[in-house]
Structure 1
Amino acid sequence: MIKKLILPVLLLSISIGNAQGKKTKSYELASPGGQNKIKFELVNNAPKYGVSHGKTEVIAPSDMGFLLKNNENFSSNFEITNVKNSTFDETWEQVWGEKKNIRNHYNQLVVQLQQKDKNKRKLEIQFRAYDDGIAFRYVYPKQETKDSIFIMDEKTTFNLKEDGKAWWIPAYKENRYEYLYQNSSINAIDTVHTPLTIESKNGLKLSFHEANLIDYASTTLVNTTGTQLKTDLVPWADGVKVRVKDTFTSSWRTIQIAEKSGDLIDSYLILNLNEPNKMGNPSYVKPYKYFGIWWAMHIGKYTFWEGDKQGATTAHAKEYIDFTAKEGLHHLLIEGWNKGWTQQWYENHMHMFSFTQCADNFDIEKVVEYGKEKGVELIGYHETGSNLINYMKQIDAGFALYKKLGIHTVKIGHVGSKLNMKEWHHGQFGVNYFRYVLQKAAEYDLAVFYHEPIKDTGERRTYPNMLAREAARGQEYNAWSEGNPPSHVVILPFTRMLSGPMEYTPGVLDVEIKQGYPGKRIHGTTAQQLAMYVTFYSPIQMLADLPENYAVPGYQFLKDVPTDWETTKVLNGEIGQYISTARKDRNSEDWYMGSITNEKARDLDIPLTFLDSKSTYEAQIYADAEGTDETHNPSAVAISKKTVKASDVLKLHLGGAGGTAIRFKKL
């Protein structure tokens, strides 16, 4: 009934805009609940848009359009040839995810433009207004004359009405996305990757990103003047931003808008802007937890390459398989199993890895067979070293080997500053490469998780074999660098993770890394590592530590916590300070909660209203022990149990850089 009342009002407001359009060329689109509005207008024949939330102007009139080759201006001298509006409302189901059922409800305005010069180029701009944000994209339809299109610049700007605090990482740097977040005013930011998160002075929380990125260049944002941000498409090596033939469709430019920080995480706008599932529900696509011969190599116990300390040996593999089977898990990653690894494997060279030939002392067929006997499946690993010329020659053979062996997941790494030492990972070349590999993997019944990847723009909705990716500074930096400061892990959920699942590789319970490089450690507590399995979403979660370090009571939480969820609720949180997240298991009636904090110790009151009001639960609590923080007995975990109901309020104490993990078992 409510929908029937709202819909005519919405269409009336648009029709008034249409009537006014003949005179002012101005149109307004409101979201279904009216929270967010987009205004489109032609000003001196140039397209402009603005955005408001309630009575607050978020984006003042901002530029749109392109610069094409030969300095052809494709951003002015337009007239409107048609305007269409529509509404859409559906609920769709994720194959796997942080929430099973997602509502996709928006109002759309499509403006068709044509330039008034001799070429009469046409451009369509599609706007969508959601209650959790807005989106728009450009469609260059087939024209009367065919030609190759070279986009030299996209002129899209975001003219923020107010300044604010921005959390950002720089673009065009050697380590891709793997940087610590900086926090500054808008006018002090560099050219930055998205998602870019801003806390505006008016209190609104904003995230700028893109969705459904196909055959186009990634967006970065550059501060041009004051509080204005401009799109800076990642170029090809020759400076061209995008090259296509006849037509193109840009990714959606997105702004998620929230009044509370946690509402940014509870938004599914990015997923909703992608195409529906094209794969169905493949049997080989499954969420899971896994162990790996991985951390031992990062802390220096083993090496990636062949030699006396080689990690990937048949003997080590069998030991890890035995441990994996004993602990009731079913997947194991082994890095370094193939030929081509050297001590310089991570440096910028055109490394020549083989994707079918085993390293000395490793027999993949024997290891796979041993795993099958124990109920453990190997996860394939392809480190390309960003030498895609070499990888593309072997990709079919490499994937075919995995299919023959019954391997159904492959981790693909791209260490190197540029692909083929030439092209950015996030330019059009990289966008097309990563999409091609994902589709190629599906031909061989393989699910994929990428490291050193293109950023996530929601393609997991369309291709659910796209499990997760890195695209940020992960756990391994704690093994051999100055490490990730406590604030890093409470920035990631509000920034990088807004784009999609992250392979952070948590679960290092020996946070002081006693067997590692001298002076290196994790800047947080063991309880915080446990809580990350709830606050950091990924359908595949690594238990990254050495097997011997799991002989501790807190490990039980990692055995219990699932990786596939019915629903997710962010209970509280402030960017860079703390976050508490609750998730309901998709396959049981249990709930799980994680709370983590920065270097500041924190007391939190957690209302348990997310629990079923008619049920009673046993809260199995894994908390920082009394007096525990980053530097004081950080591995100490206090384990307790308590009977709770939805009407209760749970009081938590988090030590500095600490956390609490809870399983709510329905009684």
Structure 2
Amino acid sequence: MKTLSYKLVIQIWIASGLVDGFVSRSAIRLVSRFANFLVFGLLLTAIGAANAAELKGPYTLTSPSGELRLTVSDPEEKGVRYSLTVLGKSVLKESVADIVLQGMRLHLSEAKVIDAKRLTVNRELAPHVQQKSKRVQEHYNQLTLRFDNQLALTFRLFDQGMAYRFTTEQDGGLVVNSETVSLNFDGDHRLLFPEETSFISHNERLYLPKRLSEIGAEQFASLPLLVNVDDIKLVITETGLRDYPGLWLEGNDKQGLNARFPAVVLKSELKQDSDRNEHIIQRADYIASREAISTSSASALFPWRVFAIAQNDAELLTNELSYLLADELAIDASWVKPGQVAWDWWNANNVFGVDFNAGINTQTYKYYIDFAAKYGIEYIVLDEGWHHLDSVLNVVDEIDVEEIIAYGKSKKVNVILWVIWKTLDNELEVALDRFEQWGAAGIKVDFMQRDDQAMVNYYWKIAKLAAQRKLLVDFHGSYKPAGLRRAYPNVITREGVRGLEHNKWADYITAEHNLTLPFIRQLAGPMDYTPGAMVNAQPENFDINFNRPMSKTTRAHQLAMYVVFESPLQMLADTPSHYLREHESTEFITSVPTVWDETQVLSAKISDHIIIARRSGKQWFIGVMGNSKAREFTLDLSFLGSDNTQYQMYSIADGANAHRYASDYSVKREAVTAQSQIKIQLAPSGGWAARLSPVLNSK
């Protein structure tokens, strides 16, 4: 080992305060002789001192850009409390994270930090089923605190937000008595609160505008929800949800929100005369048990608590934290094929202009297949009615499932089968084997209506067993996406959203509601809103009709949803007879991809408007959705780039009379470049949609 300069050693000693500036010649010779040993010892001392200081806290962590700053207090003082600022502005203040395991030796307020590790990750991911883009950048700084009670707490800070999760190395049985998620703010901020009345819920709510102080401890909401911290938007959700109940948030009569969890279900039964609605008879006094937990690592993982941050509304539309923090790919998903679906239930099988009796029968579904084949639609769904409700294998006499599936395959159209979760579960593997034998492409599983630990585990079980048989899964009557889709991309979409189906029985699906969903619910993951109404009405003309439903928006608003709303399995909700009659609208809808290579938000404001451009290959699609007021916008096409490529733009706009007859629309074809400025006029509850195709040899 090369001898270090004794002068350097002396400088280190002086800087450390071990000696003063006067050193004798003999001392210098002594230092020179033992320089390496002394410096090595000194460096170890310095490192130890630094580690000791890090273990004491408080701890700070910044996002890669430095704009977000997290401060975690010393847990020994009052447990884990954290504060989050954005450009110095307080977003979360002295919020509390805690978890109580049965038999845990120490609570966090009593535990000591025995290790503090930091990590930086910067990599690019390529989702198998892409949603917003072909590549997703994963860049974060991480702090993990390990305690002397076998718990660890990891914080990650991205430029798009913050997240934390607990892990434990506790051996043997594991019972989680409670978890504390106590969110405190420094003001009485406004929020959009999807209020619930029960843990038995489809999580299909309106986003109610409230102040934090207006939410009492008895009021609670499903996730995600949005808090407007002045000019900063905070969307709260979770991901990595596995073997654990879903997180809900309740008020506290102050300026904060606290966690509420559905406890473990000990006993339940279906309500009398119901095949789907459960009555919870008994719950435990704990929220999770390791008996239902299966982990492949030495540590038990708990869900990520996610706090997505946006300094303007548009940033929420491209936030990928729910995906980035989810469990990594668990299967070979090369067979998973996104696409569109012709759907029967919303339109009540109202096929007309045919020579057969329409309904739940083989001939009607062949008609759906013919329609799908004509427009290149990849799937149809057989929704409720194809089997008797006592068994998913007890097919009604009017349906020949194998004939329908075989006919579909001859036309390159695949079939997805609807089932109730409990009926499926009663004969699960036998039924899935039969579906695979028939050649079905997937299942639409409905009416779970819960997210306690057992039900969350059911989702993972279905995802795994379906993947083994190469079956897609679309969960309806479900909780929000919470990470399952990354591990099992065959779970290609899900509901958990108040979508178009509500038009069949209510009048609250307004343009403003549609312009709230992408900023909040869609941040958690794909949403099966089921757009595509061909009968359209302005609010004053809207009529509730279960069997002949319509939309409370214009036709162009419905078409724009196919660009704005994200679902790798996207429904066409109306009857094929309408779509065949409305060829221009249908041709546009079926040209829109369901997954994207690139997304650019051109302008967006919650409940006001969205202008978004998405690219698939060399084509661009633009979707514009407006609220209940007539609007005008100038669309700048500079996002197309600087290579002077010419595009042929095909657009569908609100017609001149769409303000009174909402199905009115106009079509235009024109040549455009990146220098073009397009004037757009939206009717009330209106929209605009376009497809831009590059012209060959345009350079």
Query: Is the shorter-chain TM-score for this pair beyond 0.5, marking a shared fold?
Result: yes
Counterpart selection for 1:642 from 640, 652, 670 = 670
Counterpart selection for 2:434 from 401, 408, 411 = 401
Task: State the one-letter code of the partner of 1:159.
Answer: N
- C-alpha distance 310-225 of structure 1, shift in aligned 2 (>3 A): same
- C-alpha distance 545-69 of structure 1, shift in aligned 2 (>3 A): same
Residue 583 of structure 2 is aligned to residue 558 of structure 1? no
Q: Matches of residues 385-534 of structure 1 in structure 2 within 5 Å?
A: 388=422, 390-414=423-447, 425-512=450-537, 516-517=545-546, 521-534=550-563
**Could you say what secondary structure the match of 2:74 adopts?**
strand
Residue 371 of structure 2 is aligned to residue 323 of structure 1? yes
Are 1:75 and 1:155, in contact at CA under 8 Å, matched by a contact in 2? no
Residue 136 of structure 2 is aligned to residue 102 of structure 1? yes
Are 1:157 and 1:229, in contact at CA under 8 Å, matched by a contact in 2? yes
Are 2:388 and 2:395, in contact at CA under 8 Å, matched by a contact in 1? no
TM-score by structure 1 length?
0.86
Task: State the one-letter code of the partner of 2:117.
Answer: K
Residue 65 of structure 2 is aligned to residue 40 of structure 1? no
For these two proteins, the number of residue pairs brought into alignment is 609
- Alpha-carbon distance, 1:280 to partner: 3.3
| Matches of 2:666 and 2:311, distance apart in 1 | 35
Q: Matches of residues 91-490 of structure 1 in structure 2 within 5 Å?
A: 91-97=124-130, 98-114=132-148, 121-143=149-171, 146=172, 148-173=173-198, 174-189=200-215, 190-201=219-230, 203-236=231-264, 237-244=283-290, 248-283=300-335, 285-297=336-348, 311-341=359-389, 352=390, 354-384=391-421, 388=422, 390-414=423-447, 425-490=450-515
| Matches of 2:480 and 2:175, distance apart in 1 | 23
- Alpha-carbon distance, 1:70 to partner: 8.4
**Could you say what secondary structure the match of 1:89 adopts?**
strand
- Alpha-carbon distance, 1:623 to partner: 0.7
- Alpha-carbon distance, 1:504 to partner: 0.7
| Matches of 1:647 and 1:130, distance apart in 2 | 34
2:276 aligned residue: none
- Alpha-carbon distance, 1:123 to partner: 1.3
Task: State the one-letter code of the partner of 1:208.
Answer: I
- C-alpha distance 666-163 of structure 1, shift in aligned 2 (>3 A): farther
Residue 107 of structure 2 is aligned to residue 80 of structure 1? no
- C-alpha distance 15-31 of structure 1, shift in aligned 2 (>3 A): farther
- Alpha-carbon distance, 1:626 to partner: 1.8
Are 2:238 and 2:306, in contact at CA under 8 Å, matched by a contact in 1? yes
Counterpart selection for 1:592 from 621, 636, 643 = 621
- C-alpha distance 332-506 of structure 1, shift in aligned 2 (>3 A): same
Over alpha carbons, which structure has the higher Rg?
2
- Alpha-carbon distance, 1:666 to partner: 1.1
Task: State the one-letter code of the partner of 2:482.
Answer: T
**Could you say what secondary structure the match of 2:672 adopts?**
strand
2:658 aligned residue: 628
Calculate percent identity across the aligned residue pairs.
27
* Deviation by residue 1:488-518 (Cα, 9 ceiling, x = unmatched): 1001001111100011110111125999559
| Matches of 1:274 and 1:15, distance apart in 2 | 35
| Matches of 2:101 and 2:205, distance apart in 1 | 33
| Matches of 1:275 and 1:473, distance apart in 2 | 27
Are 1:434 and 1:454, in contact at CA under 8 Å, matched by a contact in 2? no
| Matches of 2:301 and 2:586, distance apart in 1 | 48
| Matches of 2:260 and 2:201, distance apart in 1 | 19
**Could you say what secondary structure the match of 2:604 adopts?**
strand
* Deviation by residue 1:122-167 (Cα, 9 ceiling, x = unmatched): 2100011101101110111135xx4x33323212211122332211
1:577 aligned residue: 608
* Deviation by residue 1:457-481 (Cα, 9 ceiling, x = unmatched): 1222221111000001111111232
**Could you say what secondary structure the match of 1:449 adopts?**
strand
- Alpha-carbon distance, 1:74 to partner: 2.6
- C-alpha distance 507-42 of structure 1, shift in aligned 2 (>3 A): same
| Matches of 1:658 and 1:481, distance apart in 2 | 20
Task: State the one-letter code of the partner of 2:609.
Answer: Y
**Could you say what secondary structure the match of 2:612 adopts?**
strand
- Calculate the aligned-residue CA RMSD, in Å: 2.5
- Alpha-carbon distance, 1:404 to partner: 1.3
Are 2:531 and 2:573, in contact at CA under 8 Å, matched by a contact in 1? yes
| Matches of 1:517 and 1:165, distance apart in 2 | 35
Once the two structures are overlaid, the 10-residue window that deviates more, 657-666 or 161-170, is 161-170
| Matches of 1:248 and 1:561, distance apart in 2 | 42
**Could you say what secondary structure the match of 1:487 adopts?**
helix
Are 1:337 and 1:364, in contact at CA under 8 Å, matched by a contact in 2? no
**Could you say what secondary structure the match of 1:319 adopts?**
helix
| Matches of 2:202 and 2:346, distance apart in 1 | 22
Please, which runs of 5 or more residues in structure 2 have no aligned partner? 1-46, 265-282, 294-298
Are 1:468 and 1:538, in contact at CA under 8 Å, matched by a contact in 2? yes
- Alpha-carbon distance, 1:340 to partner: 2.4
